[in-house]
Amino acid sequence: MIRRLRRQPEPVEFTAPLLPEEPFFAIGDIHGCDRALASLLDGIDAHDAGGQSKIVFVGDYVDRGEDSASVLNRVFRMSQQSPDRVICLGGNHEAMLLSFLQDPEGRGARWLQHGGVQTLASYRIPGVAPRLTPDQLREARDRFRDALGAEMISWLRKRPLAWSSGNVTVVHAAADPAKSIADQEDRTLLWGHPAFASQPRTDATWIVHGHTIEPEVKVRGGRISVDTGAFATGRLSAALITQNKVLSLPDGRELPIRQETWRTDPGGKQTGSGNKN
């Protein structure tokens, strides 16, 4: 008997050039690490003497670290003073914070378990734990709402979830590779997507993101990862992104632009292997 040979699927490559319309800095998840942020901003100033390049924050300003209040005040002030230069995206931790303000009984425990306790402490609201009575949660919410102030709460609610320049889009967590940027769901942008790292985009769009901790800034397969776990490692990172060039900060290393070749295994799963361009 002659067996019919299964035809192997053609490999898919992500080969799009990196073409932002203008140079910009993308800063990873800060998570309450204000000293690290101040130091990183000094480094950005050294690489952008004219102060013209945009600065894009990928979100997650709060929680886990010890100084969320100072971080929020700093990025809020920057965005107010330079609204055309400073872009502050929203992250999943800002979403959890806002959910706590809206529904402390239903959403409070989750936020507190994921760093909200540290954020409240930075606003001098100590002694809060995930297991509180409904009355205690409402009291903590009321104190926190007063400490934040109406202007800050309004600002947090208005944070965009994506920013684009040329064929580069910055988000907090991920983008669904099967959908255009305009059709992305908020949950995907904030929390991630299962196919983000295992399926290439076909629209030549590069995605810059945080949310997933890496040991260093990484460039691979149309993705630029800038979250280096500042709250756990003490390293807050950024990337200076220009046409076909990525510079990692604060170390100032130029990172190779990697193409990615994706192959589909018999089970239908795609796997990628990077190649230096």
Q: 71-80: per-residue pLDDT in tens?
A: 999 999 999 9
Distance from C-alpha of 101 to C-alpha of 32, rounded to nearest angstrom: 19
| pLDDT tens digits, 217-245 | 999 999 999 999 999 999 999 999 999 99
Give the count of beta carbons closer than 10 Å to the beta carbon of residue 120: 26
* pLDDT digit string, tens, across residues 146-181: 999 999 999 999 999 999 999 999 999 999 999 999
- 10: pLDDT strictly greater than 70: no
Contact at 8 Å (CB) between 261 and 13? yes
> Per this entry, what is the length of the chain?
277
- The per-residue pLDDT for 130 is 72
Q: Which helix (H) or strand (E) holds 60?
A: none
- Dmax over CA atoms of the chain, in Å, equals 79
Q: Which two tokens stand for residue 13?
A: 């490559």
Question: Using one digit for the tens of pLDDT, what is the confidence trace for 102-119?
Answer: 999 999 999 999 999 999
Q: Tell me the one-letter amino acid at 225.
A: S
DSSP state letters, 210-262? -SS--SS-EEETTEEE----HHHHS---EEEEETTEEEEETTTEEEPPEEEEE
C-alpha to C-alpha distance for 149 and 137, rounded to whole angstroms: 18
Q: Is the pLDDT of residue 7 over 80?
A: no
Q: How far apart are the first and last CA of the chain?
A: 45
The two beta strands, 168-171 and 206-209, are parallel
Percent of the chain whose predicted confidence (pLDDT) is above 70: 88
Please state, in angstroms and rounded to a whole number, the distance separating the CA atoms of residues 143 and 113.
19
Residue 204: name the closest of 152, 167, 161 by CA. Answer: 167
In Å, what is the CA distance from 140 to each residue of 147, 150, 153?
Answer: 10, 16, 16
Whether residue 129 has pLDDT greater than 50: yes
Question: Can the peptide bond before residue 250 be classed as cis, meaning omega within 30 degrees of 0?
Answer: yes
In this predicted structure, the answer to whether residue 29 has a pLDDT above a threshold of 90 is yes
pLDDT value of position 268: 43
pLDDT score of 126: 81
Mean pLDDT estimate for the chain = 90
Is the torsion defined by CA of 233, 172, 50, 83 positive or negative?
A: negative
Alpha-carbon distance 119 to 126, whole Å?
10
- Write down the H helix ranges in 103-159: 104-111, 117-122, 134-148, 150-157
Say which range, 48-57, 65-74, 265-274, has the weakest mean pLDDT.
Answer: 265-274
